[in-house]
Amino acid sequence: MTISRRDFLMAMQAAALAGLAPKLALAKGGEGLYDAPKFGNVRLLHLTDIHGQLLPVHFREPNVNLGVGPSKGRVPHLVGSHFLDHFGIPSDTRRSHAFTYLNYTEAAQEYGRLGGFAHLKTLIDQLREQAGEGNSLLLDGGDLWQGSGTAFWTQGEDMVEASNRLGIDILTAHWEFTYPEEQIRKNLSAFKGEFLAQNVFLSDEAMFMGAEAYDEASGRVFKPYTIRELGGKRVAIIGQAFPYTPIANPSYFIPDWRMGIREGEMQALVNEIRDNERVNAVVVLSHNGMDVDLKMASRVTGIDAILGGHTHDAVPQPTEVKNPGGTTLVGNAGTNGKYVAVLDLDIGNNGVRGYEYKLLPVFSDLIKPDPSMTSFIEEVRAPYLDKLGEKLAITDDLLYRRGNFNGTMDQVICDAQRKVLDAQISLSPGFRWGTTVLPGDAITMDDVMNATAITYPETYVREMSGADLMLIMEDVADNLFNKDPYYQQGGDMVRVGGMDYTCDPTASMNSRISDMRLNNGEPIEASKMYKVAGWATVNSRAPGRPIWDVVADYLRSEKTVRIDKFNTPTLKNVAGNPGIEDYAG
């Protein structure tokens, strides 16, 4: 029997991922990428912010992720070459492509897509097998049930079943709370793991009326923590849901629930666990956002590690944060299923003695997809394939979202609102989810849903004064650039169409935004009224046209997409900030 070179390489790839030939290269640049020999006696696997993506995706990391005040130049506010230098990652490699925006199009064409639940299943099963039975947990930091067409149409049920098949043991939440409470509880009933959230409480009125709660005495809506026996040691996992859900998202989905960072409750809970549960380690599964986690780690004692999400920061090594009680590791595992974080702990009777950490990029061309998960994904998508597969237009430009000020995909959304809804100015939320489309590729309805699929997608046009526009811009900028992380909500700057402006991220509230002007150069006047289109309005339940219909109509009429005008601000006082590179504004 003869075997072709291609078949031989494919066989070697499969063998390497099965742990049979770990020294062999998987493909160009893939040498050693998935070597993760067991260290210590406990392995925690961490996913976060998958946003409904069952299939492998392209996702461009930001070229602008500014840190201000004490966060300037600090992880996670490093991009591009600064990021590579800090973490010692060689340029022009698979890892540099996975973690940065550099040479994105060319690298994406060479290395292909990342993520995908079928590929995750293969990799995670191998990582758990390496740790040995009973020594590992798979944790998901939330934003799992939202972000795709199928997640929207099934109300997250597709992702619940996918997570069961993947073997997720513990989950916390953010966008999960943008379904009605009845659907949330239905999904959690179907979830085979544990859902944890120490910082979600009933309102006083809801408690009085006897609303459902995990603990009626405290008013906690959900179980706050769990104890697991791993590697012969007792490990506590505490859940921390996104603190600002009722502010950043519509509160009418969950009117009886109150959230917040609740640092005091967290410290009291850690103390209680340490005093009464005879644990050897305490880990927080968080959806705070990394800057918030870093501050919490510096103030709350007794936590060994915080595995975080929400801000979509792919951080190859955790930050070691000193606090009065010792050291807390703080990590964040990116988004879209691009990565699996592996935290191996050596735990003794008196606590954690050492650790090893890897953030593994999930290259779909290197990992054989799990057949059973592949069949499940095909089954889930089958009823929607005709709609999702519609080719709406061809893009001449790289379409991406992630970045502090604007993305080309956001510009398409803004342009669509202005043209289809006949508006002078358009606004689009600074969401950090949404996949990337390469130049020359067709933009499908699948791509549009990946950028717009939320449960409050209505678009509106209203008359708005220049003063009101300024107020909106200043408010969002303060959310993004407040020097105190506890006042940040984790999104990016509102995207704009039809106007430009100047931004000083280092300034204080009501002083960051200036020189707002229309695309024709005409200054935006405080007292003048403008026709403004927007979507994802948090406080409105009025009927409107879904944003994906507006964008699809625009793309069908354009047929070819070119970004002729990219509405990004002129920036002040950012020279030398390692959180910005190759900025065109």
33-42, 196-205, 386-395, 502-511: least confident range: 33-42
Superfamily of domain 388-571 in the CATH hierarchy? 5'-Nucleotidase, C-terminal domain (3.90.780.10)
Q: CA-CA distance, 489 to 477, in Å (whole number)?
A: 11
Within 13 Å, how many C-alpha atoms sit on residue 1's CB side? 3
C-alpha 419 chain-centroid distance: 30
| Contact indicator for 396, 560 with CB cutoff of 8 Å | yes
Q: Which of 19, 85, 29 is nearest to 316 (CA)?
A: 85
Cα-Cα-Cα-Cα dihedral sign, residues 512, 513, 515, 519: positive
Length of the chain equals 585
Helix then strand then coil, in percent of the chain rounded to 5, is 30, 25, 45
pLDDT for 14 beyond 60: no
pLDDT given at position 21: 32
Q: Largest alpha-carbon pair distance within the chain?
A: 82
pLDDT given at position 31: 54
183-192, 326-335, 485-494: least confident range: 485-494
Q: Which alpha helices (H) appear in 277-370, and where do they start and end?
A: 290-299
Q: CA-CA distance, 357 to 322, in Å (whole number)?
A: 18
Q: Locate the domains of the chain by residue range.
A: 42-57+113-375, 388-571
pLDDT given at position 542: 77
pLDDT for 343 beyond 60: yes
pLDDT for 82 beyond 60: yes
| Contact indicator for 152, 449 with CB cutoff of 8 Å | yes
pLDDT given at position 10: 41
pLDDT given at position 544: 85
Average pLDDT for 91-119: 98
Question: What is the CATH topology of the domain spanning 42-57+113-375?
Answer: Purple Acid Phosphatase; chain A, domain 2 (3.60.21)
95-99, 166-170, 229-233, 485-489: least confident range: 485-489
Q: Which secondary-structure segment (H or E) carries 325?
A: none
Average pLDDT for 182-199: 98
pTM of the prediction? Answer: 0.94
Could you give the percent of the chain with pLDDT greater than 70? 95
pLDDT given at position 541: 78
Six-digit token string for 263: 């640092």
Q: CA-CA distance, 66 to 72, in Å (whole number)?
A: 7
Q: Each residue of 288-305: b (16+ CB within 10 Å) or e?
A: bbbbbbbbbbeebebbbb
Average pLDDT for 437-461: 97
pLDDT for 384 beyond 50: yes
Question: Beta-carbon neighbour count of residue 6 at 10 Å?
Answer: 8
Tell me the Ramachandran region of residue 218: left when phi exceeds 0, alpha when psi lies from -120 to 50, beta otherwise.
Answer: alpha
pLDDT for 19 beyond 70: no
174 Cβ contact partners less than 8 Å away, ≥ 6 residues apart: 142, 143, 241, 242, 245, 287, 309, 310
Pairing mode, strands 425-430 and 492-497:
antiparallel
